[in-house]
Amino acid sequence: MAKYIKDVFSDYTVDNHLIDAEIKNVNLYKKTNKLQISILSSKPIALADMESFENYAIKRFKVAKVMIDIEYQNVEMEQNIEKEWQNIVNYIAKKEPFSRAILNGSQIEIKEKELIVSLGTKGADFLLSKKFDKGLEHLLLNLYSQNYKVNFVEKLEENYREKFEESVKKQEQEFVKQLQEEANRQSLERQHEESLKAQEKEIEAAISGEEPEE
């Protein structure tokens, strides 16, 4: 009997094409804390739908990583990589933040089944060493049901170093901003908890007829 995402993961209530996919296989790799799910879909699955389910599964099952393998059945796929490229970069950068400075501003060119990624800064060797080409090939197969060969090419501008340093500085500033926002949020939560405790003491004192402690 076929099992589907919407049935097995009934608490995942997002309405998208992915919930109608049939589950072919599920593996949990305890050593790497990774969950791998193979599915069969008769509908095209968008990048946002994949990301939504991955985020859900990471929180739901307390795993470090979720990998989805998608097989399509009688589906016509729109090959709109150029249109979606920046969304793809954002998706990759969320998983591997250090890649953002390299991939931001990159341009792509498709020649038959080859995807050429032109980088505006150095970093091709680094991406290859981390097997970003293979990861991107797998992602494109999931999104477009097409095997692409990914190649990274460095096309450096004269002032690429200044732009790279500016990008890194901007990311550092954004990181500091996020830390500050998180610290402020935690401070407000502590203040709220202290206020609730004080209210509880006042209520208890009022019920018992005692003066509340200062």
DSSP 109-120: EEETTEEEEEES
Distance of CA 188 to the CA centre of its chain: 28
The per-residue pLDDT for 61 is 93
Residue among 116, 107, 123 nearest 168 (CA) = 123
Closest CA to 107 of 120, 126, 94, 121: 120
Structure letter (DSSP) for residue 211: P
Q: Are 116 and 148 in contact (CB under 8 A)?
A: no
Q: So what's the pLDDT on residue 50?
A: 96
Q: Where are the alpha helices (DSSP H) in the chain?
A: 5-8, 47-61, 81-95, 100-103, 124-129, 132-144, 160-208
- What is the pTM (predicted TM-score) of this model? 0.71
Query: Concatenated DSSP letters for 155-166?
Result: ---TTHHHHHHH
Q: What is the pLDDT of residue 144?
A: 95
What's the rounded Cα separation, in Å, for the pair 46 and 6? 17
CB atoms inside a 10 Å sphere around CB 102: 25
3-state secondary structure of 154: strand
pLDDT attached to residue 211: 57
User: Mean pLDDT per segment of 10 residues, for the chain of length 214 residues?
Assistant: 91 94 94 95 96 95 94 92 95 90 92 93 92 96 96 78 68 80 82 76 66 54
Strand arrangement, sheet containing 65-72? 22-29, 34-41, 65-72
Classify strands 149-154 and 22-29 as parallel, antiparallel or unpaired.
unpaired
In angstroms, the first-to-last Cα distance of the chain is 66
77 φ, ψ to 5°? -105, 135
182: phi then psi, degrees, rounded to nearest 5: -65, -40
pLDDT for 2 equals 86
Distance between CA atoms of 161 and 154, rounded to whole angstroms? 13
Nearest one of 115, 95, 6 to 54, comparing CA atoms: 95
